[in-house]
Amino acid sequence: MNLFNRIVLTGATLALGMASIHADHHLSVHYKGKSGPGKGKHVVLVSGDEEYRSEECLPMLGRILSDHHGFDCTVLFSVNDKGEIDPNNQKSVTNAKAMDTADLIIIALRFRNWPDEDMKHFVDAYHRGVPIIGLRTSTHAFQLRQGSYRDFNSFGKKVLGEGWVSHWGAHKREGCRGVVEDANKEHPILKGATDVFADSDTYEAYPPKDATILMRGLVTDSLKPDSKPVKGKKKKNRATGQVGDVNDPAMPVAWTRELKNPKGKTNRLFCTTMGAATDFKSEGLRRMVVNGVFWGLGMEDQIDGKANVTPVGEYNPTFYSFNGFKKGVKPAAHK
């Protein structure tokens, strides 16, 4: 091959590569931070679960963080070959390169099967010590069936502090009322996080001893915000082997860890098993997650319990269900 042809080929290859990056970039959504304490910090929010409509709640959280608090926010999606949001495509995550510059990552994932080239960006961020917030099904974020990172299938259990166990409440019939763990009531993440209610049921969860439990979830008798804790319902606790009342003690639904990763860096981790899009109608839950961002970044001094967590524009989330996502929607619809 002569020099001219090599130059043409190299140029074409670079152009195709840049076109690919450019196209992928436009399958994510970026919200430029306005004024606020988060100015100059980049938060990446990664959606990808089939049931709980993370593709709806993470853009809402990104707008809150950017418009009210100054963070630059990038929201990533799972898409189909038409570039439409498709949470059922477990192999897809758009613009994974955004995680290379993340100061904090929020994940709402379930059984993702990303290829190595995408997974590497998440793994590298974790190894850099980037703080991570895991929502709802992120306890079982990955189900990698090929490639170099299959040890991350246990990321929920080993890193966040729990994997998939079971529904502790009756799915789609019983809700979850957040109750602050008295021993840790002064934790900054809990400031102003009052009246937390989730219409997704309580998960069974047994965080490790090094976790700081912030909130437990009382199983309620309906999905209505004014529902009452169930009484007399018994279940077997897998940790103790004992049968007892589901609400005595209630299952942990929010906790933190500070964990040294294999590269010697310490990640600040905040996990909550609440996190369906409809759960985020709760102002208390929105504030707890926003507080979690500040805590994860070591900005506790900025948490006063009065953070503006009002959604920007209307927020009318879809009730959770498998295959219940809105069809034909492209990421650009969330700009």
Please name which of 202, 276, 272, 271 lies closest in space to residue 52, comparing C-alpha atoms: 276
- Domain residue spans of the chain: 3-171+204-210+252-334
pLDDT for 239? 87
**Can you tell me the distance from the alpha carbon of 157 to that of 7, in angstroms, rounded to the nearest whole number?**
50
Q: How far is CA 138 from CA 214, 290, 306, in A?
A: 18, 17, 27
- pTM confidence score: 0.92
User: Residue 192 has which token pair?
Assistant: 């102003």
Residue 51: phi, psi to the nearest 5? -115, -40
**Can you tell me the distance from the alpha carbon of 174 to that of 231, in angstroms, rounded to the nearest whole number?**
12
pLDDT for 24? 58
What type of residue sits at position 23? A
Residue 7 burial by Cβ neighbours in a 10 Å radius (0-12, 13-18, 19+) = exposed
pLDDT for 68? 98
Concatenate the DSSP letters of all residues of 102-114 into one string: -SEEEEEESSB--
Burial per residue of 46-81, b for 16 or more beta-carbon CB atoms within 10 angstroms, e otherwise: bbbbbbbbbbbbbbbbbbbbbbbbbbbbbbbbbbee
> Which H or E element spans position 296?
helix 283-296
Per-residue pLDDT of the chain (335 residues; tens, 9 = 90+): 554 444 334 444 333 333 333 345 679 999 999 999 999 999 999 999 999 999 999 999 999 999 999 999 999 999 999 999 999 999 999 999 999 999 999 999 999 999 999 999 999 999 999 999 999 999 999 999 999 999 999 999 999 999 999 999 999 999 999 999 999 999 999 999 999 999 999 999 999 999 999 999 999 999 999 999 999 999 999 988 999 999 999 999 999 999 999 999 999 999 999 999 999 999 999 999 999 999 999 999 999 999 999 999 999 999 999 999 999 999 999 99
**Can you tell me the distance from the alpha carbon of 252 to that of 83, in angstroms, rounded to the nearest whole number?**
38
Please name which of 42, 272, 302 lies closest in space to residue 161, comparing C-alpha atoms: 272
Spatial neighbors of 185 by CB under 8 A, at least 6 apart, are none
Virtual torsion, Cα 222, 225, 227, 233, nearest 10 deg: 60
Q: What's CA 328's distance to the chain center, in Å? A: 23
Q: What is the CA radius of gyration of the chain?
A: 20
Per the DSSP assignment, residues forming a β-bridge with 218 are: 177
Please name which of 167, 176, 172, 143 lies closest in space to residue 284, comparing C-alpha atoms: 176
Q: Work out whether strand 176-180 and strand 212-219 pair parallel, antiparallel, or are unpaired.
A: antiparallel
